[in-house]
Structure 1
Amino acid sequence: MFNFLLQRFGKKQPDSISFSEEKKNARQAAANEVRQAAIRQAEALPDDENEAAAFILQSSSADARFIAAQKVHSKVLLQQIRNALRNTDRRVTRLVQSRLDALSQREKQQEQILACVDLANHLKNEVHLLPNLVADLDRQWDTVKKADADDAGLVRQYEAIRDAIRQRLTDQAALQREVMDTLSALLQLEEEEAALTPPEREARLTVLLALSENRVQSREWTALPRHLINDVDEAKERLAGNTQQHRQNHEALAVRIEMLAAWESADLSTLTLKDLQQQWRAFPVGNDDERLSDLQARFDALAARVSRDDRQEHEKTGQKLSSTEIESLFVYSLSLMKKAIEEGSVREATQQSERITHLDFSVFEPSFEQKAMLVQLRSELRNLADWARWGGHASREQLLRIVEALPGKNYPLEELAAAVVDAREKWKALNESSGMASKSQWQQFDAACNHAYEPVMEYARSQAVAREQNKEKAQALVDSAREILSTLKLPPEENEMNWRSLVEYQRQVQRTWQQIGPITRKEKKRLNAELDAVMRPLDELLKEETKIQVQRRKELIEEVRNLEPQDKKSGRMARQLQEKWQERARAFPLDSREDEKLWQQFRSASEAIFAHRSKLNEVAEKERLDSLREKEKLCENLETNLAETVGKIQQALREADGQWRGAGPVPKEQEGVIQERYNAAVEALLSRMRTMQEEEKNRRIAALIEKLSICQKGENALPDQPELADELKSLWESQPSDEWKKMLRPRFDAALNALAARDAAYVEALKSRQSHLSEQLLRLEIAAAIDSPPEFAEKRRQVQLEVLKDSLSGNRNVSSHDQLNALCILPVLTDPLSADRIIRLVKKIKGA
């Protein structure tokens, strides 16, 4: 209905459109020229990163910035560009971020290589270089990517250090083999020393000790297994301590062999069984039981022959020894008598003196010197016998007092037994050196020894009882294990397996068996074999399952080592693997040493993951703190924003929204606080903007109402009040310029022109439009839900029906704003009621 008005007042002129397009094309051409110039300038940049970075930061051309960004590679400049262009140039930001990621990966790779080099250096200089540490180093080195050529120097450095470590390990292996060979040689020498002469033994021992001392000086000596070093030291100490004993044993055997050979080659008639036995017992005794037994067999055979010859000699009647034989016996007995006196052996000297007395001197007369020596030796024998009897009696009395005092000393049983045995040996030695003791002395001494030894005997009896009880306990344990295992189904079904119970039972049996006290060797061997036979099915089953469980633990270790620390899920996955480890440990407990070894490997791999994640979290936390400071600064800027126009507030809010989105996450505990602060700051600006918009809207409505009133006043002054033209014109000019002033200008000018010409026809035209005005007011009041005056109630219902009919017929409805605009620019005589209705509509529709 009002299309002619819209076409008249709302249509743009073609000239203005053409001019706008030309202006737009000119701006585009200028912008293209600027962009091409910036691209040429970027391409002409030298290979100077600082200059390229400065150009990027001040350039307004995205293409030029991207070209210049190709020349920046240093981390500091890349970070500076990323921070500056993060929210304005995504293409350059992606390029810069990709290079920063590559640099970060490169730095990480170098850190890993440097860590391996440092660890290798540490191991190379380690005093105790252990192979398991080197194996850990190799595994760590295998995880490092060494593809960059820049790492070639570090790789060569690591390989050189690794070669040195490899040489140390080789030296360790060689040294360990040499030490084991030396230990074998020492043990072999210890086994063969009885067959060696002292010079031969000492020569071999000296060579082995020299070799051992040379190896002790080796750098790798301390890295050898401690038990191997202890075995070598113990073998050396035993051999070095047995040197004197070996020499004495060898000399003792040599004396016995020499004398036995002399007796075997001598005339048996010159030998007596008693003399042979006394001299044989007087010889020193060695510890070579095998050779002593051979020599004893030879001596026994010789003694049997001498005894047989003596009997034959006594059976002969009238047979006498020759002078030569008597002389030999005299000289031999005299020498043995002299030796016995020098050694203080009264019994031996007395026997030899009696032997000389029974010789037949009728066929042999000793020389003067021999007689003088015999007289002197017998005199010394008498003195020695007197002293021996006196000393032996005193020694026996003292020895008896010592033994009688033993029960009150509270000696340990071992020392008490050793003291009693030592006292008996000394008593026997006194019998040899001082003659036999009296029967009463012997009975008194024997009773004292038995009394002193009674605690040892009591302890021995209690130990025998304890051994019997321990045997019964061991047998009961074996029978119990047999009964329990016979009731078990081995191997159990898959759904019936309770490995933990089986392992705990096995360990309980082992602990109980170890806690059983001593048992006789024979019974211990028998019970051990019986228990092994009973427990063998369970032991073999658990042994096989242990291998499976160890392999599963190793698989868990590999799973942890294969986790990527950069993956955010790696920490959670590592904790899940730890829980799985604990479940398997509870289900099947391994041996403590094996379990500790595997656990240390698993724990080291897990801690490496958590350490790396912690480091990444620290970096992320730092970035979150930076984001928090950035958002706090942004909130502060919003809170202190004093923009006076809606446009500036909207621009500030758009910029703040972009910066807020690009700032990144903040610490979770601060996320709600900073978000509330930001929302409050934004809401404050929005509230101020809404207030300003409301004020601006009210101002525009007031200006529209004022301009409408001027137009209505001019139209109502027609045609008889031309004197109001100047006043109206002055009022119109005082109004600010806006869109409504332009739209109402034709209506105002038409009213002024008609007023100046006193145009009655124009007044009639204005009056003719009053009915149309009334209908349009009703339509607008219906659309705006405003009550119409009561007198228009019937008319309003008719208009409502028309509006409903138009909507049902599908006619296109013009918006209320457009209808109101058309009504405002429509020249028409307006009465006060209609003017008031128009004001109400303007406030309702324009203020909505």
Structure 2
Amino acid sequence: AEAAAEAPAAPAPAAREPKKPAAPKETDKKFLETLDAMEAALEQGLLHAAADHDKWLKEHKTRLTPAQTDRLNHVRAELKRLGDWARWGGNVSREELVRAVEELPALGLAMSELAKKVGSMRERWKSLDAVSGHAPKSLWERFDSACTAAYAPAAAHFKQLADERHANAAKAQALIDETRNMAAAAVAEGADLKNVAAAGQRLRQMWGRLGTIDRKEKRKLDQAFDKALAQMLAPLAEQRKIETAKRELLIAEAEQMQPGDRHTLDHLRRLQERWQEQAKALPLERKAEQALWQRFRAACDAIFAKRKESAHAADHERKAHLHAREALCKELETATFSGEDKAQLAAIAKTLRDAAAAWHAAGAVPRASEARIQQRYQAAVAAVQ
């Protein structure tokens, strides 16, 4: 023991250098920056952002000075106070929102308006979540159930519309199939083109009455139907070109007729009969048929108008001839002759010759007056003789 005591003492440990103050850690810097951001968010009323900052602070703890700790506690107390107020206010707003949703069924809104209302109220609920935090579960379940119940009629209505659109699409496809079958038959069998025209009109009318179909699907169906219908009507279209040319020939023939020809009316009637036969055998498209008919009718009307005008002129001329013959009769009826017998006979003979020449030069008179004026003339001549 003494030997041990006498053993040389161990060398004293080397003196350590004074520890330099450590530089602030990056985490400490980020912590304080986040605390600043949390405080700023509270001042701006952004509780949701402030809560996110506080969550980060709790997950990244660091050593703080007493002053910093007091500041953090103060900021968190302010967050709790404002959060309590927000939740209270949010719950009050949510209660009003729930009541508003529960009252929707009694308002009798149109289905589209009802759907918009329910959607806007759900969006309002989400905005309250962002500002005031999540609602109590019981209140959320009450709100969600009220929204589902209020939206139920609209959901049923929209489902019915969707079912109708699907049914209309099925009808459209059936019409396309029918049109394709008829197109194949028209080419293979040389079908009656008049029947093909009637079928084309019927199919167009049925297509127009299909009802609503989803827009994208309707566009595809329209293209398929138009293609099938064009194939079906292709032989008809070619024949209609030929029939149109025939109609054009009839129009040209009518336009070239001479109104004054005594055979014109008979010729015109035959043209009209041929037109009716052609129109009955194979009608053209309604607009094309109507346009051609209007031109043909105008040509016929022009002939009738010119003949009527000529008839009026001829009637006026015959009346003028009648007036001339009446004047001639009056001259004969009032004629007197004097002098020797030989001179009287010469004067009478000259008067009768002049009267006969004037009578024939006067021309035709209205048929209704022919017999009367002829009898008067003969009587006047006899009286002079």
So what's the TM-score if we normalise by structure 1?
0.36
Matches for 1:306-325 after TM superposition, within 5 Å:
323-325=25-27
Matching of residue 355 in structure 1 with residue 50 in structure 2 = no
Residues 337, 348 of structure 1: 8 Å contact kept = no
Give CA deviations for 1:624-672 in whole Å, capped at 9, x if unaligned. Answer: 4433433443444455556696765654454344334333444xxxx23
Structure 2 stretches of 5 or more lacking a match?
Answer: 1-22, 339-343
Instruction: Give the letter for the 2:26 counterpart.
Output: T
Could you say which residue in structure 2 is the equivalent of 1:626? 320
Matches for 1:14-163 after TM superposition, within 5 Å:
none
Q: CA deviation at 1:531?
A: 5.0
Between the aligned partners of 2:153 and 2:74, the Cα distance in structure 1 is 51
Residues 180, 232 of structure 2: 8 Å contact kept = no
Residue of 378, 381, 384 corresponding to 1:683: 378
Between the aligned partners of 2:370 and 2:119, the Cα distance in structure 1 is 96
Residues 330, 356 of structure 1: 8 Å contact kept = no
Instruction: Give the letter for the 1:662 counterpart.
Output: A
Residue of 11, 15, 28 corresponding to 1:326: 28
Residues 498, 587 of structure 1: 8 Å contact kept = no
Between the aligned partners of 2:254 and 2:54, the Cα distance in structure 1 is 95
Give CA deviations for 1:493-516 in whole Å, capped at 9, x if unaligned. Answer: xxxx85433211111011112212
Between the aligned partners of 1:525 and 1:638, the Cα distance in structure 2 is 93
Between the aligned partners of 2:268 and 2:66, the Cα distance in structure 1 is 108
- Could you say if the C-alpha distance between residues 621 and 688 of structure 1 is closer, same or farther in structure 2, counting changes exceeding 3 Å? closer
Q: CA deviation at 1:541?
A: 0.9
Residues 481, 535 of structure 1: 8 Å contact kept = yes
Between the aligned partners of 1:418 and 1:400, the Cα distance in structure 2 is 16
Instruction: Give the letter for the 2:48 counterpart.
Output: R
Backbone CA RMSD of aligned residues: 4.2
Could you say which residue in structure 2 is the equivalent of 1:338? 40
Between the aligned partners of 1:574 and 1:382, the Cα distance in structure 2 is 104
Could you say which structure has the larger radius of gyration? 1
Matches for 1:161-172 after TM superposition, within 5 Å:
none
Q: CA deviation at 1:555?
A: 4.0
Between the aligned partners of 2:336 and 2:192, the Cα distance in structure 1 is 76
Could you say which residue in structure 2 is the equivalent of 1:539? 233
Instruction: Give the letter for the 1:504 counterpart.
Output: A
Instruction: Give the letter for the 1:675 counterpart.
Output: E
Between the aligned partners of 1:382 and 1:361, the Cα distance in structure 2 is 22
Between the aligned partners of 2:227 and 2:292, the Cα distance in structure 1 is 31
Instruction: Give the letter for the 1:466 counterpart.
Output: E
Between the aligned partners of 1:662 and 1:337, the Cα distance in structure 2 is 128
- Could you say if the C-alpha distance between residues 359 and 478 of structure 1 is closer, same or farther in structure 2, counting changes exceeding 3 Å? closer
- Could you say if the C-alpha distance between residues 568 and 437 of structure 1 is closer, same or farther in structure 2, counting changes exceeding 3 Å? farther
Residues 39, 75 of structure 2: 8 Å contact kept = yes
So what's the TM-score if we normalise by structure 2?
0.72
Instruction: Give the letter for the 1:326 counterpart.
Output: D
Could you say which residue in structure 2 is the equivalent of 1:663? 362
Please, which moves more after superposition, 324-333 or 349-358?
Answer: 324-333
Matches for 1:531-680 after TM superposition, within 5 Å:
535-562=229-256, 577=271, 580-602=274-296, 615-641=309-335, 651-666=350-365, 671-680=366-375
Between the aligned partners of 2:33 and 2:108, the Cα distance in structure 1 is 54
* Residues paired across the two proteins, number: 358
Q: CA deviation at 1:448?
A: 1.9
Identity rate, percent = 33
Between the aligned partners of 2:42 and 2:257, the Cα distance in structure 1 is 90
Instruction: Give the letter for the 1:334 counterpart.
Output: D
Give CA deviations for 1:399-450 in whole Å, capped at 9, x if unaligned. Answer: 2233222223232222222222222222222221222122222222222222
Could you say which residue in structure 2 is the equivalent of 1:415? 113
Instruction: Give the letter for the 1:445 counterpart.
Output: F
Could you say which residue in structure 2 is the equivalent of 1:729? none
Matching of residue 505 in structure 1 with residue 199 in structure 2 = yes
- Could you say if the C-alpha distance between residues 461 and 503 of structure 1 is closer, same or farther in structure 2, counting changes exceeding 3 Å? same
Give CA deviations for 1:689-723 in whole Å, capped at 9, x if unaligned. Answer: 6xx6xxxxxxxxxxxxxxxxxxxxxxxxxxxxxxx
Matching of residue 399 in structure 1 with residue 93 in structure 2 = no
Residues 184, 232 of structure 2: 8 Å contact kept = no
Matches for 1:186-335 after TM superposition, within 5 Å:
323-332=25-34, 334-335=36-37
- Could you say if the C-alpha distance between residues 331 and 633 of structure 1 is closer, same or farther in structure 2, counting changes exceeding 3 Å? farther
Residues 400, 448 of structure 1: 8 Å contact kept = yes
Between the aligned partners of 1:357 and 1:476, the Cα distance in structure 2 is 68
Could you say which residue in structure 1 is the equivalent of 2:136? 438
Between the aligned partners of 2:166 and 2:187, the Cα distance in structure 1 is 33
- Could you say if the C-alpha distance between residues 664 and 350 of structure 1 is closer, same or farther in structure 2, counting changes exceeding 3 Å? farther
Residues 631, 674 of structure 1: 8 Å contact kept = no
Instruction: Give the letter for the 1:659 counterpart.
Output: A
Instruction: Give the letter for the 2:29 counterpart.
Output: E
Residues 571, 613 of structure 1: 8 Å contact kept = no
Give CA deviations for 1:9-28 in whole Å, capped at 9, x if unaligned. Answer: xxxxxxxxxxxxxxxxxxxx
Structure 1 stretches of 5 or more lacking a match?
Answer: 1-320, 693-848
Between the aligned partners of 1:612 and 1:367, the Cα distance in structure 2 is 118
Residue of 434, 443, 450 corresponding to 2:148: 450
Give CA deviations for 1:330-349 in whole Å, capped at 9, x if unaligned. Answer: 4256336635763x543232
Higher relative contact order (CA 8 A, sep 6+): 2
Instruction: Give the letter for the 1:347 counterpart.
Output: H
Between the aligned partners of 2:78 and 2:329, the Cα distance in structure 1 is 126
Give CA deviations for 1:97-116 in whole Å, capped at 9, x if unaligned. Answer: xxxxxxxxxxxxxxxxxxxx
Between the aligned partners of 2:260 and 2:367, the Cα distance in structure 1 is 28
Could you say which residue in structure 1 is the equivalent of 2:19? none
Give CA deviations for 1:37-91 in whole Å, capped at 9, x if unaligned. Answer: xxxxxxxxxxxxxxxxxxxxxxxxxxxxxxxxxxxxxxxxxxxxxxxxxxxxxxx
Between the aligned partners of 1:365 and 1:597, the Cα distance in structure 2 is 100
